[in-house]
Amino acid sequence: MTASSTWPRYGKVTLKPFTEPLSETEWRRFYECFRDPEIAEWNGSRPLRMPLWLFKRVVMGEVGRGDRLGFGILDERGEWLGTVELYELTPSEATLGILIGAKDRWGQGYGTDAVKAVLEYAFCKLGLKKVKLRTYRHNLRAQRAFEKAGFRHVEKPPQTGLRFSLSLGPRHEFVPMEITREEWACC
């Protein structure tokens, strides 16, 4: 299917809304990305174990929900690279999540372009005031891509009054980042 002129785009990428019909190849790439153990590890999740037919049903069930918007990331040739989503969506804010499943395409600017495309959509089409995210402290590639797209780190308030706390260790520490519409300043 050819990309619609209304789909968000930036630089090398076009974002295909999950509300559009996906081809079998796109579904398969989408699904394989969430089954990959390394990507799941970076994403702080577990590799998907459900069959493809159930995965499709779960995704389609979420498409109609008002608190979530998802897009496939397509490259210059329309090839599916991964997904970018806005979740915990309210009239003023959302949380961003992104996965590029094609690992041989990491580090070539696709992630940054996809984040910029979805931020443009969030601020200029949806009129959000702020987009947030959280990523692992050791995920320097993701933080660099988010910084290039305009995100900044947010200081976490110091935890007081906790004499004993359970810690999963530095490999599992999340860092928050955010960007406001004023900081985006392109619409």
Ligand X SMILES: CC(C)(COP(=O)(O)OP(=O)(O)OC[C@H]1O[C@@H](n2cnc3c(N)ncnc32)[C@H](O)[C@@H]1OP(=O)(O)O)[C@@H](O)C(=O)NCCC(=O)NCCS
Alpha helical stretches, state H, the chain: 24-35, 37-43, 52-63, 110-120, 140-148, 181-184
Q: Does 35 bind ligand X (CB under 6 A)?
A: no
Q: 57 or 103, CB closer to ligand X? A: 103
Q: Does 111 bind ligand X (CB under 6 A)?
A: yes
What are the structure tokens assigned to 115, written together?
A: 């984040």
In the complex, the smallest distance separating the C-beta of residue 130 from ligand X, rounded to whole angstroms, is 17
Which 148-187 positions form the footprint of ligand X (CB under 6 A)? none
Stretches 5-13, 15-23, 93-101, 151-159: which one binds ligand X (CB under 6 A)? 93-101
* Count of other CB atoms within 10 angstroms of residue 13: 28
Beta pairing, strands 93-100 & 130-136: parallel
Q: 75 or 184, CB closer to ligand X? A: 75
Q: Are 84 and 94 in contact (CB under 8 A)?
A: no
Q: 162 or 168, CB closer to ligand X? A: 168
Exposed, middle or buried, 70 (CB in 10 Å: 0-12/13-18/19+)?
buried
Residues that bind ligand X (CB under 6 A): 39, 42-43, 82, 98-100, 106-112, 135, 139-142, 144-145
